[in-house]
Amino acid sequence: MITDAPRRAEDQAVTSEARQKVKVFSGIQPSGNFHLGNYLGAVRNWIKQIDRSDSVFCVVDLHALSNNPDSTLLKQQVLDLAGSYLASGIDPDRCLLFVQSHVPAHTELQWLLNSVTQFGELTRMTQFKDKSAGKGDSVSAAIFSYPVLMAADIILYDTEEVPVGDDQRQHVELTRDIVNRFNRRYGETFVLPKADIKTEGARIMSLDDPTEKMSKTSPREASYIAFSDPPDTIRKKIRRAVTDSGETIEGGADKPALTNLIQIYGSFADLTTSQVEQHFEGKRYGEFKKDLAELVVEKLTPIQGELERLRRDPDYVAGVLREGAARANTIAEKKMELVRERMGIGSFKP
């Protein structure tokens, strides 16, 4: 009795601490090259808050199928992206890390959520409009229904916050509409999540065209800095990045290229735009670009080294993902039991 009492108090403290932690979910598609935008817009923010949150991070391979990838390449890219998460500092002991297709509840819930999602909502998605442009009727249904799968990913884990870049804002808004509609129809079942989008780094633009977002699937290598780029390639890409006319290091709406480079500098150096401008007062573009290139190389080199090490140890990465999937399946299956019950489907209880 005497020894039991303090243990119970300790358990209670742990439970209330766990309850205070905000539930976070986010994911990245294993398609193309993991790049600076993914790191600054997403992964770096995941790491910054990993200890104040109950975090779930996912390699969303089912989403990548909407780009029709080669199947052997996809397997490799899944391991590589998981390696990039780990190398960037996502510690599997402080979060839950797994691959989407290893947890079948995601696709089951997507189908169920289709019944509370409207055709009009999906056609209004900017990413759908961009990706389907010029494809006419041959655009795949996967590209169309992709945001419903994203909603399923998020709400299976009672997520409260979704740390993403600016381009995912609309998808999280749709998720909220789906949750509200589901809960109204079937009773309180899902937590209402919100997007967590930082002011710095949420929209990193292409280096060769600042009107376009930096993208994994861009065919123009000069447009992005990939995690796999060696230091000299990074230096060359930054040297050749387009700049605006003018002399001073000052951003602004009329200087999208320079503003983008200032954003990248500020994100890595943890400085605001005006602090970066102050730092480079009186300096020329050439000097700024040189310093920026060295900063990016300095920050990425240790991550790249760790990624190389993990590439030589795929069994370790696969082991982390297997363990993560086992834990994720337990959580997701429990949620699905409630969802099936609410919707009147699933096996009859004796």
Q: How far is the CB of 30 from ligand TYM (least distance, A)?
A: 8
Q: What is the C-alpha separation between 213 and 196, in angstroms, rounded? A: 19
Residue 216 appears among annotated catalytic residues: yes
Position closest to ligand TYM via CB: 41
SS3 247: coil
Place of tokens 């909407």: 66
Cα distance between residue 253 and residue 264, in whole Å:
16
Catalytic residue among 23, 194, 198, 213: 213
The catalytic position among 131, 237, 255, 289 is: 131
| Least separation in angstroms between CB 208 and ligand TYM | 13
- φ/ψ of 97, rounded to 5, equals -125, 125
CA dihedral 195, 201, 202, 207 (to 10 degrees): -160
CB of 215 to ligand TYM, least distance (A): 6
What's the CA gap between 107 and 145, in Å, rounded? 11
Q: Which is nearer to ligand TYM, 92 or 163 (CB)?
A: 163
CA 276/CA 73 separation, integer angstroms: 40
Residue tagged active-site, from 216, 237, 255, 289: 216
Positions in the binding site for ligand TYM (CB under 6 A): 25-29, 37-38, 41-42, 60, 63, 150, 153-154, 162, 164-165, 167-168, 202-204, 213-214
CB of 343 to ligand TYM, least distance (A): 22
Q: Is 290 a catalytic residue?
A: no
Q: What is the arrangement of strands in the sheet containing 53-59, beginning at the earlier edge strand? A: 96-99, 53-59, 22-28, 161-163, 194-196
Compare residues 50 and 283 and give the one whose CB is closer to ligand TYM: 50
Based on CB atoms, which residue is closest to ligand TYM, 5 or 270?
Answer: 270
Please identify every residue annotated as catalytic: 131, 213, 216
